[in-house]
Amino acid sequence: MKSTLVFALSLATFGLPAVAQQPPRVAVEISTPTPVAKAGAEIRIDVKVTNESDGTIWLMKALGPDGQAESANGVEVYDGLGKRLPWAVDHPMIWSSRKGIRVAPGKSENDFLILSKLFDMNAPGKYTVIVRQELPPMDSASGKDTIYVPSKPLTITVTE
Amino acid sequence: MCKTVDRHLSAAWRISSCLLLLSGPLTAVCHAQCTSPPTATISSIAPAAFFAGAGTQVTIIGSGFILPGDPNGCSTTLSITAGTEQVALSNVTVVSTTEMMAVVSPLATDPLEGATVSVNNPFVVLVRSAASESSADSSNSISADILPVPVIQYNGNTISGANATMPFAFVGQQIQLTTNTPSPEALSALPVPLTFPPANPPPGGSPPYQWQVSSANIGGYTVTPPSGLSTSSSAIAQATALTNPSLTTYWLPSGGGNHTGPITYQYCITLPSPGTRCSVPVQAKFTIAQPTDVSANIFDESFTHSDYPALETMKWSISIEAQAVSPSNQSGTLQSGQYQWVQLISVDDVESFGAKQLTCTGGTTASTPALDTQYPYDTDLLMSDAPAFTFTSSAQTGMNVTENFETYLMWNPEVSTSIWVPLGLVRWSAVGDDAYNSSTGQYTIVSGSAPAGTFAVVGLSEPTWSQAVNGPSIQSSCH
């Protein structure tokens, strides 16, 4: 409950992306094979996006191998105090192509990202992760606005 | 001097102006009979090889040739035999006592074979006591060659010549043609040994084998690796080799529908004199089938930026849905084939400003594009792309992006041996300039535009590249 409250406060503090909000047509689930990780270890986040609509939807996905889920997801990490971590990436993130892929009703698309490459999570403690799946304009009701569908928060504990 | 002649007058006899007497024994009154002509000899003929199905002007050098109008009624005859066939001659002219000219016209069906060229000065041997006479001559001969008319074959069928049927093929389908061109060994074994001219003749010369393929074509198209992701990806298009005795080619789409692909072939041989001579070109025509009504609906073109907390992203989107009607085969059965997309990046310029500056030009140009990440980009007739360039507000204060894309719609007829061929091309761009506004604390778009794709279908070449731009998510250096 505490972490949920902290997360809610965080959203209030930082606000949501300045994009139009549409009813989610997809379910975004995230998980990690290492809910408890040692400091400095690689932390992987698996992202599963399920089409819960009646029609085929499009998702964007970085062209190339899996493991670049951040290309189509907003990724947020909060520390135990509810403070959002800054991105550790100080270089541009370039996806010359994010291919549109079709997901049939009831079907899912899986990808992953390496969270420890994007954020400094070396300090021991509990972290809350949320991923927001970007739906391209063609999937939004207006046909033009990007929407982000959030996952449920995921807690990861980093130990010494 | 007039005497009785045999009823079976030989055609070789040259008895001029004989007057037949109708009373008594058969008697002819003759003005002049050739009885003692000079001996005709032949020392050379040039050229010494004749292409079947065509007339070859030849010059014969020798001696004892008799000019027309000889007062003694003598004349020189020329004959060329190949096996049991008398080769057709025309315009036989004695130019001088040492030179004759003629046009030699072997039958179009004549194979590769030797021939004998003979000159003859026939004369009459008079026999006083009998009712018959005999003839004699003093001929001389020399060898020559007959070379066959080129024949083009496809799948074991002759597709050139008068009775040939027009073969059918799809664009992208491998076409392998063979010919009856004699081998070098067969040429050297002829009575007058022949050779082929050099494969790389001097300027103005003729190569041994010459093909002409009139409609758009290609000799091969190789993508390495054949699919997937590789930074060393490459695609090479080979021109059709036109100087071999056989031909391997693939038709490329041309125009809007089924069309005709003429192919001509001839071969050339080298003679001591007058040098290289070539057969008449023979032609085959293909009916070439390709997808028709190719068009593309380009939609969802957008350019936006999102000031996601602590991240700024410029992004573009484009979707392309192509339409095409697959062709039918000769039996009218639909040949659906397969469709796919291949995307190249011809301009790949990215520049970021701030603490972490980065300037990338990608090493690509319009003439040396790179594969966009993987081959193929997508399958089927629908594709979508949404380039995105994200940077963190702590490190970059702005970004310029210019990315030009070439997105090819490809088709493969899916026959036994076939390649992908281009049906259409969409050119589009991701161009934008984004900067941090310190007064508002936000990023703003300085300039930029949606992709504005344009579709073209005519005159496309195979997409080629020698590298791939594989977009790792984090760019600490240029591609």
Ranges of each domain in chain B: 15-147, 152-289, 292-469
In the stretch 36-95 of chain A, residues with CB closer than 8 A to chain B read 58, 60, 62-65, 68, 70-71, 74, 76, 84, 86-87, 89-95
Q: What is the CATH number of the domain that holds A75?
A: 2.60.40.2970
Phi/psi region, residue B354 (left: phi>0; alpha: psi -120 to 50; beta: rest), is left
In terms of Cα–Cα distance, which of B67, B451, B474 is closest to A88? B474
* Closest by CA position to A87, among listed A65, A116, A61: A116
Domain that holds residue A57: 2-159
**Contact between chains at A92 and B302 (C-beta distance less than 8 A):** no
Of residues B314 and B257, more confidence is placed in B314
Name every residue whose Cβ is closer than 8 Å to that of residue A141 and which is 6 or more positions away in sequence: A22, A23
Per CB-CB distance under 8 Å, the chain B contacts of A60 are: 384, 386, 388
Percent of chain B with pLDDT over 90: 59
How far CA A33 is from CA of A123, B179, B241, in Å, comes to 19, 66, 57
* A96: chain B residues, CB-CB within 8 Å: 345, 348, 372-373, 387, 403, 469, 471
User: Any idea which of A36-40, B77-81, B255-259, B292-296 has the lowest mean pLDDT?
Assistant: B255-259
Q: Give chain A positions within 8 Å (CB) of B471.
A: 62-64, 94-97
Q: Which residues pair with A14 in a beta bridge?
A: none
Residue A159 in contact with partner chain B when CB distance is under 8 A: no
The residues, any chain, with a CB within 8 Å of residue B26's CB and separated by 6 or more, are: B4, B5, B7, B20, B131
CA A76 to each of CA A34, A131, A150, B283, B456: distance values in angstroms, whole numbers, following the listed order: 18, 6, 10, 70, 43
- Contact between B188 and B145 under an 8 Å Cβ cutoff? The reply is no
Query: At A21, is the pLDDT very low, low, confident or very high (cuts 50, 70, 90)?
Result: very low
The C-alpha angle with vertex B213 and arms to B207 and B216, in degrees rounded to 5, equals 135
Tell how strand A93-95 and strand B113-120 pair up: unpaired
> How many domains does the structure of chain A reveal?
1
Query: Both tokens of residue B351?
Result: 């520049």
What pLDDT digit, counting tens, does each position of B160-219 carry?
Answer: 988 888 999 999 999 999 999 999 999 999 999 999 999 988 888 899 999 999 989 999
Both tokens of residue B466?
A: 């020698």
Distances (CA, A) of B17 to A63, B30, B31, B128: 97, 6, 6, 20
Q: Mean pLDDT of all residues in chain B?
A: 86
Nearest CA in chain B to A138: B300
pLDDT of A127 higher than 70: yes
Q: How confident is the model at residue B2 (pLDDT cuts 50, 70, 90)?
A: very low
With contact defined as beta carbons under 8 Å apart, do B348 and A95 qualify? no
CATH fold group of domain B15-147 = Immunoglobulin-like (2.60.40)
User: Do the chains contact at A99 and B229, CB–CB below 8 Å?
Assistant: no
pLDDT band for position B451 (cuts 50, 70, 90): very high
- B449 φ/ψ angles, rounded to the nearest 5 degrees: -160, 160
The Cα A80–Cα B418 span in angstroms is 60
Facing B355 at nearest CB: one of A89, A90, A102: A90
Q: What is the pLDDT of residue A140?
A: 44
DSSP B328: B
Shortest distance between the Cα of B229 and any Cα of chain A, in A, equals 6
Digit-coded pLDDT (tens) for A74-116 = 899 999 999 999 888 777 777 878 888 889 999 999 999 999 9
